[in-house]
């Protein structure tokens, strides 16, 4: 059993190296992934920050800084969700190219193909995340978080990345073309919009508000906001982790089923 | 201390055991039968060619034998490993080069090969040495640092095959290895295949080109409509092909009917009002055909003499001829009525000329 695990780890590492090489060869991809949340951050803070911020109650730096503090956790979650979803394209591109058949006719641990993609994508997403945080800090984001809160925030973002990436793998596997694989993730990427990422849920219309309150990204965003602003997170942390576990499990089981189905013998 | 009979990498084929055996392989996609019971036996260290037109089931056969696709029925052993019970054993013994180059376009040639070495879990030094050797052998050493995406068609095939060989497989599947290659690249590929076999590897190749099978294969099987319609050495297959023939086309159905009566042994193509009369193309034979036509009082609209070339062998065996022969399938066909080559299921075995 342990040798099976060792083989799986070895093969996954090989696949990971391949994906990291891709990422290193095309750094533009990582950057462009980080660009969407960064542009969103700048747009919302500088275009709408004063007016939306005013309703949040002005902090020491006026409405804009208050809004920056409110918005940054939402943008981070959105960046993680969006970045993770790019896995769909990479998976679909491999599945529709010839290389997957080569992997499948080799005596390697089958899941390593997906594991390598997931780890690679999470690493890439985290690199993008660092860029987003750097920009947020540069424009005046001043979190009130101790080391433990930072660690918890990182852990939460990591959990979201892993969960969403597995879902992304499944979406890549059901896609027949790279184009459609590129479109499906948009739904997930923009789900934070319909949560509390940009404005508080209780400011929304009743129907949307109900959706915003119960969709998975809202507790994640609220928890991250609590951790970074030094306010209590309550049960939100556990709710978020439960969502991550749920999404990740669904994504993982679904992916495995899809991948094995296309290789089903008989 | 390993026993002295331990097979070395070049003496690993089990004594006389065939490298590939398959019995009754069947595969359908929906109601379309792709393979309708395939039996194969390929001795170790030989080249076997599966010859057939597009849609005959060549690729499906390779996909099944290389564990990519499960068969609906039948069984097979490759290098002593059962396809169903030990697919990983099969995978560790084979190398597959498909119809389309299975490369990572974003990696360089060298990185592609190293990826294979890593996936084969070769020790680092050994893997690097093997990669260097293959880069030299396949004449891509100078392009080793270039991304595969920039390679020409011939280079892609060479790199693809080199990747297949990193693990030094016992049995290699080559699915239409030269389709789309220029003549020079094709010769290079042939030389490579010969080199592999000289080294003791068993090669299973599919091709649409009879010349390729003729050049390379120890044994050839002709696949058509999901069945093997003929099998043997190149010479044996050629001997099965009718020699020269005369093709007669008649002006009208009445003439066709009378001509059919005059040449009861000829194969008929009612749709084109044509007859194919076997026989050598000698003067006497021709004279006798003309005499019989005159005696029957049938005017021929068209009269031509054919001497077979290699393509005729293929056409005759697969019933893919556009002239006489293929037409017989139309009336008796059990097919689904579709006209696509993939959808039609010709009763190929019945058309096999003797």
Question: Domain of B221: which CATH number?
Answer: 3.40.50.300
Least confident range of A11-20, A126-135, B201-210, B309-318: B309-318
Q: Which residues of A111-140 are buried (b: 16+ CB within 10 A; e: fewer)?
A: bbbbbbbbbbbbbbbebbbebbbebbeebe
Instruction: Give how far B121 is from chain A: nearest CA, Å.
Output: 8
Within a domain: residue B336? Answer: no
Do B175 and B290 share a domain, yes or no? no
Do B208 and B265 share a domain, yes or no? no
Within a domain: residue B340? Answer: no
pLDDT reported for residue A201: 81
Do B261 and B126 share a domain, yes or no? no
Do B48 and B170 share a domain, yes or no? yes
Q: Which residues of B273-284 are buried (b: 16+ CB within 10 A; e: fewer)?
A: bbbbbebeeeee
Predicted ipTM?
0.85
Out of B209, B238, B267, pick the residue that ends a domain. B238
pLDDT at B326 over 70: no
Do B83 and B206 share a domain, yes or no? yes
A1 against A249, higher pLDDT:
A249
- Is A265 within 8 Å of chain B by CB? yes
> What is the spatial order of strands in the sheet that B47-51 belongs to?
B94-97, B171-175, B202-207, B47-51, B219-224, B227-232
pLDDT at B166 over 90: yes
pLDDT reported for residue B300: 78
Question: pLDDT tens across B243-264, in order?
Answer: 667 888 888 888 888 888 888 8
pLDDT reported for residue A135: 95
Query: Residues A187, A198: contact at Cβ < 8 Å?
Result: no
Do B149 and B272 share a domain, yes or no? no
pLDDT at B351 over 70: no
Do B83 and B123 share a domain, yes or no? yes
- Nearest Cα neighbor of A244 from A255, A232, A252, A254 is A252
Average pLDDT in chain A: 88
pLDDT reported for residue B232: 87
A260 against B76, higher pLDDT:
B76
Supply the pTM of this predicted model.
0.78
Do B69 and B165 share a domain, yes or no? yes
Do B217 and B127 share a domain, yes or no? yes
Out of B238, B257, B277, pick the residue that ends a domain. B238
Least confident range of A3-7, B274-278, B330-334: B330-334
Within a domain: residue B189? Answer: yes
Out of B190, B221, B238, pick the residue that ends a domain. B238
Do B88 and B210 share a domain, yes or no? yes
pLDDT reported for residue B28: 93
Query: Residues B74, B38: contact at Cβ < 8 Å?
Result: yes
Question: pLDDT tens across A94-120, in order?
Answer: 998 889 999 999 999 989 999 999 999
Question: pLDDT tens across A50-93, in order?
Answer: 877 777 765 555 678 888 988 999 999 999 888 877 899 899 99
Indicate the domain borders of chain A.
2-261
Alpha helices in chain B (DSSP H): 58-65, 87-93, 109-119, 124-137, 153-165, 183-198, 210-216, 234-239, 253-262, 283-296, 310-318, 328-332, 348-351
Mean of pLDDT values over B192-205: 93
Domain count, chain B: 2
Residue B45 CB burial class (10 angstroms; 0-12, 13-18, ≥19) = middle
pLDDT reported for residue B110: 96
Residue B294's domain comprises 243-307
Instruction: Give how far A185 is from chain B: nearest CA, Å.
Output: 23
Do B253 and B174 share a domain, yes or no? no
Instruction: Give how far A168 is from chain B: nearest CA, Å.
Output: 21
Q: At what angle do helices A2-25 and B109-119 cross, to 10 degrees?
A: 170
Do B267 and B208 share a domain, yes or no? no
B268 against A243, higher pLDDT:
A243
A105 vs B70, B96, B100: nearest CB: B96
Task: Reduce the secondary structure of B190-252 to three states and give it as a string.
Answer: HHHHHHHHHCCCEEEEEECCHHHHHHHCCEEEEEECCEEEEEECHHHHHHCCCCCEEEEEECC
Within a domain: residue B131? Answer: yes
What is the per-residue DSSP string for A69-118? HHHHHHHHHHHHHHHHHTHHHHHHHHHHSSHHHHHHTSSS-TTHHHHHHH
A265 against A44, higher pLDDT:
A44
- Is A144 within 8 Å of chain B by CB? no
Within a domain: residue B178? Answer: yes
Is A105 within 8 Å of B119 when comparing Cβ atoms? no
pLDDT reported for residue B169: 95
- Is A14 within 8 Å of chain B by CB? yes
Residues in chain A with CB shorter than 8 Å from the CB of B73 are none
Q: How far apart are CA B94 and CA B89, in angstroms?
A: 9
Q: How far apart are CA B38 and CA B171, in angstroms?
A: 19
Mean of pLDDT values over B38-43: 94
pLDDT band with cut points at 50, 70 and 90 for residue B274: confident
Query: What token pair was written down for B44?
Result: 């170790």
Query: What token pair was written down for A10?
Result: 């070895």
Is B106 within 8 Å of A107 when comparing Cβ atoms? no
- Is A108 within 8 Å of chain B by CB? yes
Question: pLDDT tens across A166-214, in order?
Answer: 999 999 999 888 888 888 877 787 788 888 888 888 888 888 888 888 8
Rounded percentage of chain A residues whose pLDDT exceeds 90: 51
**Interface contacts (A, B; CB < 8 Å):** 69
Q: How far apart are CA A185 and CA A191, in angstroms?
A: 10
Rounded percentage of chain B residues whose pLDDT exceeds 90: 44
Query: What token pair was written down for A99?
Result: 């290389």
Within a domain: residue B97? Answer: yes
Least confident range of A38-47, B247-256, B302-311: B302-311
Query: Residues A207, A122: contact at Cβ < 8 Å?
Result: no
- Is A9 within 8 Å of chain B by CB? no
């Amino acid at each position: 059993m342990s040798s099976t695990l060792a083989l799986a780890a070895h093969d996954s590492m090989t696949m990971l190296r391949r994906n990291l090489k891709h990422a290193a060869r095309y750094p533009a991809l990582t950057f462009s992934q980080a660009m969407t949340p960064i542009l969103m951050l700048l747009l919302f803070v500088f275009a709408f920050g004063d007016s939306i911020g005013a309703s949040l109650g002005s902090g020491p730096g006026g409405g804009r800084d208050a809004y920056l503090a409110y918005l940054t956790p939402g943008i981070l979650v959105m960046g993680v969700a969006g970045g993770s979803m790019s896995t769909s394209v990479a998976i679909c591109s491999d599945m529709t190219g010839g290389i997957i058949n080569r992997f499948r006719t080799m005596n390697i641990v089958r899941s390593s193909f997906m594991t390598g993609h997931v780890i690679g994508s999470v690493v890439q997403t985290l690199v993008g995340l660092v860029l987003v945080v750097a920009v947020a800090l540069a424009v005046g984001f001043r979190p009130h978080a101790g080391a433990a809160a930072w660690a918890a925030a990182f852990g939460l973002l990591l959990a979201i990345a892993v969960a969403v990436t597995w879902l992304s793998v499944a979406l890549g596997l059901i896609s027949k073309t790279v184009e459609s694989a590129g479109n499906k993730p948009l739904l997930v990427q923009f789900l934070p919009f319909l949560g509390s990422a940009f404005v508080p849920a209780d400011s929304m219309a009743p129907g949307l508000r109900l959706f915003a309150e119960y969709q998975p990204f809202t507790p994640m965003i609220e928890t991250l906001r609590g951790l970074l602003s030094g306010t209590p997170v309550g049960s939100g942390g556990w709710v978020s982790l439960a969502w991550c576990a749920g999404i990740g499990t669904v994504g993982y089981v679904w992916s495995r089923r899809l991948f094995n189905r296309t290789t089903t013998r008989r | 201390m390993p026993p002295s009979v331990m097979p070395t990498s070049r003496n690993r084929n089990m004594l006389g055991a065939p490298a590939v055996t398959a019995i009754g392989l069947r595969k359908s996609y929906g109601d379309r039968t792709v393979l309708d019971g395939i039996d194969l036996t390929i001795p170790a260290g030989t080249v076997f060619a599966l010859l057939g037109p597009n849609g005959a089931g060549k690729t499906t056969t390779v996909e099944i034998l290389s564990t990519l696709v499960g068969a609906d029925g039948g069984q097979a052993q490759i290098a002593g490993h059962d396809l169903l019970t030990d697919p990983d054993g099969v995978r560790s013994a084979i190398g597959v080069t498909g119809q389309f180059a299975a490369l990572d376009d974003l990696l360089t040639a060298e990185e592609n090969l190293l990826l294979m070495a890593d996936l084969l879990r070769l020790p680092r030094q050994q893997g690097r040495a093997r990669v260097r050797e293959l880069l030299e052998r396949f004449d891509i050493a100078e392009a080793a640092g270039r991304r595969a995406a920039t390679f020409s068609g011939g280079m892609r095939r060479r790199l693809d095959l080199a990747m297949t060989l990193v693990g030094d497989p016992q049995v290699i599947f080559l699915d239409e290895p030269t389709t789309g290659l220029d003549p020079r690249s094709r010769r290079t590929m042939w030389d490579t295949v010969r080199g592999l076999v000289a080294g003791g590897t068993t090669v299973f190749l599919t091709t649409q080109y009879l010349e390729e099978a003729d050049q390379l294969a120890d044994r050839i099987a002709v696949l058509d409509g999901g069945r093997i319609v003929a099998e043997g050495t190149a010479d044996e297959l050629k001997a099965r092909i009718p020699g020269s023939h005369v093709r007669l086309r008649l002006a009208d159905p009445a003439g066709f009917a009378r001509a059919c009566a005059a040449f009861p042994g000829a194969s008929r193509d009612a749709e084109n009002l044509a007859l194919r009369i076997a026989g050598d193309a000698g003067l006497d034979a021709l004279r006798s055909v003309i005499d019989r036509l005159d005696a029957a009082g049938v005017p021929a609209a068209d009269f031509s003499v054919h001497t077979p070339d290699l393509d005729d062998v293929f056409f005759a065996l697969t019933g893919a001829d556009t002239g006489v022969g293929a037409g017989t399938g139309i009336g008796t066909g059990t097919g689904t009525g579709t006209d696509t080559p993939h959808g039609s299921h010709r009763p190929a075995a019945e058309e096999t000329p003797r």
